[in-house]
Amino acid sequence: MMVWSINLLVLAIGILIVGMIKPHWILFWMEKPKRIAIIILSVVLFMAAAVMFGEANKEKQQKSTTQIEELSPKTTDKVPTVKVEAVNEEKKEGE
């Protein structure tokens, strides 16, 4: 998805540049295309590319964190824990 977003960004920039020079090349079905239509189309494509890039980045980051969690060994406490009840019983016995 990351590659698609970059390709869409390049397409949006290309449409903007070509459309500003010759709008009829992009909007060939219109008799007298205006440059504002080219700007709107380029902005929409740019926003779609930005959203796709953000989602791909987020997905990539989530995958890397899950892989790190899977690779890290589970550590256990090396120090034995004592229950509070056992400690209280020992105190009572000592008194």
What is the distance between the alpha carbons of residues 13 and 34, in angstroms, rounded to a whole number? 17
Q: What are phi and psi of 9, to 5 degrees?
A: -65, -45
- Reduced to 3 states, what is the DSSP secondary structure of residue 38? helix
> Looking at residue 21, what is its pLDDT?
94
> Looking at residue 47, what is its pLDDT?
96
Give yes or no for a contact between 43 and 19, defined as CB atoms under 8 angstroms apart.
no
> Looking at residue 68, what is its pLDDT?
73
pLDDT averaged per 10 residues, the chain (length 95)? 90 94 90 92 95 91 78 62 67 70
